[in-house]
Chains A and B, each alone.
Chain A
């Protein structure tokens, strides 16, 4: 779908909405409520798996990390099926989900020939192509085949590669409350008039972009009246997830929401930095799920969190860790099959100081694509057996 079709469609939606507001919007909401939703959280910077999902029964872990290991008594024991592993104390809000079978932990996720560059590895995760030939994103390719300009939404400034297709990319909304036109009335009136004056060439393309912005402003404007009930942490990630909750509650209708939280690149002073971030992450996820429960959508929403790589097993001289390979993925939701998808990492058999990767991330993507009824083979270019989380 190109911008022009997009505009036609959103103008049509608008016109219909004005003609018969209550009935249509209620029908739209009802139709949409049966659909599954995928929320992707990109932990940018390389989250350290070993201090998130901790091999606290392994002395080697403590020997490799004399100054930054999480002490045994602090670790949250995952019990019987936790493969002798435990969670970072800041992840306490996730323990109830683990107990209820609504949290899947997937350790050492990666891909063949791992790359330790943030950029390259992130791009590999976004394109789902470890050979680095593909330029479009995995969800962008899915979006190419969709009919709705809001089939996916990025909560942030500039749509990442994962959401860029050949034909279109997801609308980027940095925040529901901030997404407003702030100009004096005469300027706003002038803008309205200019948007309805057709042009040629590049100026016409800009006009189309203005119209799609206008469509997004209208759509998000309707979302703004929805507020969240749960308490989100005061952190950009908390704000972003609260906005996703509002978008879902308000019936924006996206099948995919995507957001990024940075700061995981803990080369130095890792303990306080990672702990703080894990705290925000678990509080925000917990609040988000509470909101989904409140509107009866918890079983429809699958949350997927990933990082471009894990970190080196041995701590460095700055009480931090350097870029590594296999990392931890989390899948959460009321409708998923929780549990441990993988075993305790082997700290004696390392790949140049890093955990060896165990699960290809595309097996997890395949499951996530299945969740939203996407053709995983078409999106990923080949068959990947979906991980059993859904």
Chain B
């Protein structure tokens, strides 16, 4: 017999999985029962629309505004919103900063997001491989310029420090040796038209430049390797990769301080079965519904904005007047709140937690409430927050929590 899913549990599940929802959706999930509800949330992601811009390759600010519109519109409308919250997780984990990556165009950013979307649920090793070959990443962490004469250690270092093992599980020597293994992993444009000729709609592709590659033998984490692929394989087999990322996933989906037994159990699930099965395990776990973990996570600005607009029945990420400045206003608001999409503040991603609620960012969140004036009739806050009784509830502390 199917396990039941109470309405309050369905609200919690939907809010955590998708950061977006309305009462009728939670009711439908509740009717499905636990397993089927989780299945329906973890469906294969609906592809996002393509990025196509009319502006030139030098107008990167405008491209970023267009990308923001594209992504948030998709998040507001997609039948698979849980995939988009997971895209945000990978974006904050396998970080790339558009602002810092001068060689990249909007199409490169959007191609990286497509990787997060299509491979985000799959085996971690596959996602890691895709990220390591991703042109946006290769440009961002300078591996695209890395050649045997001057190996660039930026990617190799962050790969271990931030993306897989975490500090303390490798040596400086491992950084240097793996940097040599990744030399020659670079990018190229299929048309060959770069620089001022660059079409912002044409994305880079991965290219292995053989004569830049250091073919000598290297030692990585005590094992002999030659290629970057072998480095990735070692990291993919390493249990610490799953403990590190699994803990981060639990902090994102369950509680900023996940219980240790769940962290070790989760790491095993993640290693054996991939991210979708990890989430299925978590969402069907009794601990997920324990009172201690409810409303324990501070919404990020993107989750706050998407959740609020969706609760107001909006299908476009529009704040205030629908004029020529609307997309700039949205990005400005997100900047004040501390989360500009496609531009994490550093390679470490967003710190999150209570740092989202420093004075000016919190003020921006509260002032946003007033921008919803006139939309009260369509406002449905049941999934957005606990304890909502009407529009005035938006000033409750609970509105900031996931």
Shortest Cβ distance from residue A239 to the other chain B in the assembled complex, whole angstroms: 14
Whether a CB of chain A sits under 8 angstroms from the CB of B377 is: no
Q: Point out the residues of chain A lying under 8 angstroms from B398, CB to CB.
A: 203, 206
Q: Point out the residues of chain A lying under 8 angstroms from B392, CB to CB.
A: 186-187, 190
**Binding stretch for chain B, among A64-72, A169-177, A289-297:** A169-177
Bound: A146/B393 CA distance, A: 36
Residues 169-195 of A contacting B (Cβ, < 8 Å): 169, 171-174, 179, 181-184, 186-187, 190-191, 194
Q: Can you name 7 extra interface pairs (CB under 8 A) apart from A179-B359, A216-B359?
A: A156-B360, A158-B345, A171-B358, A172-B361, A190-B393, A202-B296, A203-B398
Bound: A204/B357 CA distance, A: 13
Whether a CB of chain A sits under 8 angstroms from the CB of B102 is: yes
A172 and B296 within 8 A (CB): no
Residues 358-382 of B contacting A (Cβ, < 8 Å): 358-363, 366-367, 369-370, 373
B367 and A182 within 8 A (CB): yes
A202 and B401 within 8 A (CB): yes
A194 and B100 within 8 A (CB): no
13 contacts across the A-B interface (CB closer than 8 A): A119-B347, A123-B346, A157-B361, A158-B345, A158-B360, A158-B361, A181-B363, A183-B366, A183-B395, A184-B370, A203-B401, A205-B354, A267-B102
Bound: A157/B359 CA distance, A: 9
Whether a CB of chain B sits under 8 angstroms from the CB of A346 is: no
A194 and B397 within 8 A (CB): yes
Q: Point out the residues of chain A lying under 8 angstroms from B295, CB to CB.
A: 201-203
Whether a CB of chain B sits under 8 angstroms from the CB of A210 is: yes
Shortest 6 CB-CB distances between A and B: which pairs?
A206-B397, A191-B395, A209-B357, A190-B392, A183-B370, A174-B360
Chain A residue at minimal CB-CB distance from B337:
A157
Q: Point out the residues of chain A lying under 8 angstroms from B362, CB to CB.
A: 209-210, 213
Determine which residue in A123, A186, A187 has the highest number of CB atoms from chain B within 10 A of its CB, and name it. Answer: A187
Bound: A207/B154 CA distance, A: 40
Whether a CB of chain A sits under 8 angstroms from the CB of B302 is: no
Whether a CB of chain A sits under 8 angstroms from the CB of B115 is: no
Whether a CB of chain A sits under 8 angstroms from the CB of B335 is: yes
Whether a CB of chain B sits under 8 angstroms from the CB of A159 is: yes
Residues 288-346 of A contacting B (Cβ, < 8 Å): none
What is B's interface to A at a CB cutoff of 8 Å? Answer: 100, 102, 154, 292, 295-298, 335-336, 338, 345-347, 354-355, 357-363, 366-367, 369-370, 373, 391-398, 400-401
Whether a CB of chain B sits under 8 angstroms from the CB of A372 is: no
What is the size, in residues, of chain A's interface with B at 8 Å between Cβ atoms? 38
B366's contact among A156, A159, A181, A203, by CB below 8 Å, is which?
A181
B357 and A206 within 8 A (CB): yes
Bound: A123/B346 CA distance, A: 10
A172 and B357 within 8 A (CB): no
Q: Point out the residues of chain A lying under 8 angstroms from B400, CB to CB.
A: 206
Chain B residue at minimal CB-CB distance from A158:
B338
Residues 340-368 of A contacting B (Cβ, < 8 Å): none
Bound: A118/B298 CA distance, A: 29
Shortest Cβ distance from residue A192 to the other chain B in the assembled complex, whole angstroms: 9
Bound: A179/B336 CA distance, A: 11
On whether A194 and B396 interact (CB within 8 A), knowing A181-B366, A203-B401, the answer reads yes
Bound: A156/B292 CA distance, A: 35
A181 and B367 within 8 A (CB): yes
A213 and B359 within 8 A (CB): yes
Q: Point out the residues of chain B lying under 8 angstroms from A158, CB to CB.
A: 338, 345, 355, 358, 360-361
Chain B residue at minimal CB-CB distance from A117:
B154
Bound: A159/B298 CA distance, A: 18
Bound: A51/B185 CA distance, A: 36
A213 and B363 within 8 A (CB): yes
Q: Point out the residues of chain A lying under 8 angstroms from B360, CB to CB.
A: 156-158, 172-174, 179
Q: Point out the residues of chain A lying under 8 angstroms from B397, CB to CB.
A: 194, 199, 203-204, 206-207, 210
Whether a CB of chain B sits under 8 angstroms from the CB of A212 is: yes
Q: Point out the residues of chain A lying under 8 angstroms from B373, CB to CB.
A: 184
Q: Point out the residues of chain A lying under 8 angstroms from B401, CB to CB.
A: 202-203, 206
Chain B residue at minimal CB-CB distance from A122:
B346
B338 and A157 within 8 A (CB): yes
Q: Point out the residues of chain A lying under 8 angstroms from B336, CB to CB.
A: 157, 174
Chain B residue at minimal CB-CB distance from A160:
B345
Bound: A157/B332 CA distance, A: 11
